[in-house]
A and B are shown apart, each in its own frame.
Chain A
């Protein structure tokens, strides 16, 4: 099974080279999709191996897939597949001259994320996370407009400075391991509880590393690059960045947390992560209430969900299975939404919520999946985000962090109301062009967006646009997966429990 450790790195690299040299012409624009598929299949193979009780490793233990790594790799592949496949219609309109490098960068981006989750070495993982910044820089600036240039500049400066701080932290952790005779950066060795690591250095190093990766994860107050970058990037790239890149940064935080918890106890990072998480929820709530741009709305919602995951990480082992399920649910939902937002932007020609009215009447082909995905995002059952949020809140009350999750719950309700209002404004109502002809059209604002798919409203217009403006299947698969995944105890539940056990320091 060890070959599945290098396929998610090698296959995208080869496909990227082919895309660059033009050797992938027969494949058309399928290079990124093939890369995602390779990552997804490798992830599933590794999950199978892990469930059999094996721990595949390669390169003298440099690459290693425990339950957590295998799970994260699968998420990277799944979200990558939804973003790239769903984004097919979008990227065909990209300038032809840059199409090859665009495809190549997406493939390398996928390989870098795979390396980040598979590396059993904090330093190698750091280099991979930095490589994600490098590969996405040109993808964010792909449209070559003034605002995309601004977004890309801010993204690269803040992203690399943040990750540089993480490097300083990693250097200090490395220095802390000198007392063991053989200085090391291996997760496996560092998270053993019996090592004589220097507590002062671990404390400083852990704080800096978490701070640095939190910048990359978009946690407040280091989030300012995120809405710009995610709203300016092409939709499939936004889907990938929002859906998995943030989660990969969170994965790094969780791994660092395992090391610090073993040396100085859980309280230290618990405070940091709770503050960061609540602040993220607050920022998202404050800026979602008055949001005017639907891509920025999705970006702030990512800050919200990362904040909630950080709260879950702060709670500790009891909430970790919920956090990991959250990563999958949020990734698939957000990738679907960003793909759809790209299509809406393309057919409507505007990113402003005010200009996109009555989508359900005019373009049901886009509005129906958008409504379902938004329902999943704001946390309606049966979608898995609901169960993750409930899991985190219950675990929080159980571990004596009732105040933190109480505040989080209030902020979540505010965000729920804000997102519902914005979604209703976009989709439900009468078309502005014919205000007098449709008196019965406007639905009640504030009603449940999943429940209000009224058949009567659609019938009003003569020729509603039922086209999905791109492949439907990836979106259906993504939403169906998030809808059922929470109910599958075997093997999903077992895998999540084992992945959480890896973080709990259990050997």
Chain B
């Protein structure tokens, strides 16, 4: 029974991951992006749970609960808290939405090309979905490069991190549990630190526009 729906569930979860990433490039409102990030966290947790059920490993189910708590709830909560304090919550990115979505399409094709060469020997269903993870990594980069607000850069970083986690789960069923714990803790702390710095930036400069960080140069 489960074996028949497994490919569809994998497809559903990775589809949701890619869709939320693409929508984040499209939307300019920070709060909307944070909601999408939360949805993405839930989709990633669901993906992990599906893989865990298929492999029948209890450890992977624990990881999925961890992902749900950290990526689906804690991180979006921290970000939303930060964003409500800023006066400007919309973004004037360097790319307009159309160009952004076109770039997303190109990046997705690129990641399929790369992954087909990398994972040529692997015919499992989850390996077929692995290019989505690579595409998310590239979309995270795109967000990091094209966004100007501190909060949006943070979101780009988190999409990048979600992409890496997706690749990890799809290619090898995830790294061992203690490592997953360490990695989640590190990511959480990085976000908290950047959140604190964004707060200091707002106190010092009045906003969180990173274009003003140009004082240090040679």
A473 at the interface (CB under 8 A from B): no
Fill in one digit per residue for A138-180: 1 if any B CB lies within 8 Å of its CB, else 0. 1001001011011111101100110010011001101100100
A to B contact number (C-beta, < 8 Å): 115
- Per a CB cutoff under 8 Å, which of A138, A153, A175 touches B213? A153
Q: How far is the CB of A233 from chain B (nearest CB, A)?
A: 12
**B150-A171 in contact (CB<8A):** no
* A160, B175: Cβ atoms closer than 8 Å: no
CB-defined interface of B182-217 with A at 8 Å, one 1/0 digit per residue? 110110011001101100110011000010011110
Cβ of B23 within 8 Å of any chain A Cβ, yes or no, is: no
Q: Which residues from chain A contact B213 at a C-beta distance below 8 Å?
A: 150, 153-154
Closest-CB distance, B92 to chain A (whole angstroms): 19
Q: Quick one: given A153-B201, A157-B157, A160-B190, are A174 and B172 in contact (CB under 8 Å)?
A: yes
Q: Is the CB of A153 within 8 A of B179?
A: no
| Contacting pair B183 A183 (CB below 8 A) | no
Contact call A156/B172, Cβ cutoff below 8 A:
no
For residue A195, CB closer than 8 A to chain B, the reply is no
Is A171 within 8 A of B179, CB to CB?
no
Cβ of A296 within 8 Å of any chain B Cβ, yes or no, is yes
Residue interface bits A211-234, CB-to-B below 8 A is 1, else 0: 000000000000000011001100
Q: Which of B144, B168, B197, B214 contacts A174 (CB 8 A)?
A: B168
Chain A's nearest CB lies how many Å from the CB of B83? 17
A127 contacts B179, C-beta separation under 8 Å: yes
Q: Report A-chain residues with C-beta under 8 Å of the C-beta of B117.
A: 200
Alpha-carbon distance A151/B144, docked complex (angstroms): 17
How far is B172's CA from A138's CA once the two chains are assembled, in angstroms? 35
Contact A137 B193 (CB under 8 A): yes
Contact pick for A178, options B118, B163, B172, B215, CB 8 Å? B172
Give bound CA distance, A356 to B54, whole Å. Answer: 68
Q: A156-B197, A175-B172, A200-B118 are in contact. Are A168 and B137 (CB under 8 A)?
A: yes
B164 interfacial contact with A, CB 8 Å: yes
Q: Number of residues in B with C-beta < 8 Å to the partner?
A: 42
- The answer to whether B200 and A141 have CB atoms under 8 Å apart is yes
Query: Which residues of chain A are near B210, meaning CB under 8 Å?
Result: 153
Check A127–B186 contact: CB distance below 8 A: yes
Residue tally, chain A, CB below 8 Å to B = 47
Identify A147's interface contact among B141, B153, B182, B216, CB under 8 A: B216
Given contacts A146-B204, A174-B175, contact A291 B215 (CB under 8 A): no
B179 x A123 contact (CB < 8 A): yes
| Separation of A174 and B179 alpha carbons in the complex (Å) | 12
Contacts of B30 in A (CB 8 A): none
- Does the CB pair A149–B175 fall under 8 Å? no
- Does A345 touch B at the CB level, under 8 Å? no
Asked whether, in the complex, the Cβ of A171 is within 8 Å of the Cβ of B201, the reply is no
CB pair B216–A171 under 8 Å, yes or no, is no
Q: Across the interface, do B215 and A146 meet the contact criterion of CB distance under 8 Å?
A: yes
In the complex, the answer to whether B190 meets A127 with C-beta atoms within 8 Å is no
- Residue A204 lies at the interface, judged by CB distance under 8 Å to chain B: yes
Could you tell me the distance between the alpha carbons of A156 and B200 in the complex, rounded to whole angstroms? 14
Chain A residue nearest to B161 in the complex (CB) = A164
Q: Is B86 an interface residue (CB 8 A)?
A: no
A134 near B193 with CB under 8 A, answer yes
A228 to B176, CA, bound (A): 36
- Please determine whether A156 and B215 come into contact, CB atoms closer than 8 angstroms: no
Decide yes or no whether B67 CB sits under 8 A from chain A.
no
Q: Which residue of B lies closest to A158 (CB)?
A: B144
Select from chain A the residue with minimum beta-carbon distance to B130: A175
Decide if A55 is an interface residue (CB 8 Å cutoff). Answer: no
A205 to chain B, nearest CB (A): 9
Given contacts A127-B179, A131-B186, A156-B197, contact A168 B204 (CB under 8 A): no
Contact present for A124 and B186 (CB under 8 Å): no
A287 interface residue per 8 A CB criterion = yes
A124 & B157 in contact (Cβ 8 Å cutoff)? no
Judge whether A228 and B216 touch: CB under 8 Å.
yes
Residue of B nearest to A227 (CB): B218
Chain A positions within 8 Å of B179 at CB level: 121, 123-124, 127, 185
A69 contacts chain B at the CB level, 8 A cutoff: no
CA A174 to CA B205, docked complex, whole Å: 44
* B137 contacts across to A, CB distance below 8 A: 168
- The reply on B160 being an interface residue by CB < 8 A is yes
Would you call B146 an interface residue if the criterion is a C-beta within 8 Å of the partner chain's C-beta atoms? no
Are the C-beta atoms of B218 and A171 separated by less than 8 Å? no
Given A134-B190, A151-B216, A198-B121, also A183-B172 (CB < 8 A): yes
Chain B's nearest CB lies how many Å from the CB of A469?
Answer: 26
Q: Does B175 contact A171, Cβ atoms closer than 8 Å?
A: yes
Contact pick for B175, options A123, A131, A151, CB 8 Å: A123
In the bound complex, CA of A142 to CA of B157 (Å): 24
Chain A 269-296 residues near chain B, CB threshold 8 A: 287, 290-291, 296
Chain A residues with Cβ below 8 Å from B121 are 198, 200
The interface bits of chain A over 171-214 (1 if a CB of B lies within 8 angstroms of the residue's CB, else 0) are: 11011001000010100000000000010110010000000000
In the complex, whether B167 has a CB less than 8 A from a CB of chain A is yes
- Compute how far the CA of A138 lies from the CA of B192 in the bound complex, rounded to whole angstroms: 11
Which residues of chain B are within 8 angstroms of A261 by Cβ–Cβ distance?
A: none
Q: Are A161 and B186 in contact (CB under 8 A)?
A: no
Instruction: Return chain B residues, CB-CB under 8 Å to A227.
Output: 216, 218
Is B171's beta carbon under 8 Å from chain A? yes
Q: Does B4 contact A (CB under 8 A)?
A: no
Known: A149-B204, A153-B150, A171-B167; 5 extra A-B contacts, CB below 8 A, are: A123-B183, A127-B182, A153-B194, A287-B218, A291-B218
Interface residues of B (CB under 8 A from A): 117-121, 137, 141, 144, 150, 153, 157, 160-161, 163-164, 167-168, 171-172, 175-176, 179, 182-183, 185-186, 189-190, 193-194, 196-197, 200-201, 204-205, 210, 213-216, 218
| Sample (21) of A-B pairs whose CB atoms are under 8 Å apart | A123-B175, A127-B182, A127-B186, A131-B186, A134-B186, A141-B200, A146-B205, A146-B215, A147-B216, A150-B213, A154-B213, A154-B216, A157-B157, A160-B190, A167-B183, A168-B167, A175-B172, A204-B118, A232-B216, A290-B218, A291-B218
Chain A residues with CB under 8 Å of chain B are 121, 123-124, 126-127, 130-131, 133-134, 137-138, 141, 144, 146-147, 149-154, 156-157, 160-161, 164, 167-168, 171-172, 174-175, 178, 183, 185, 198, 200-201, 204, 227-228, 231-232, 287, 290-291, 296
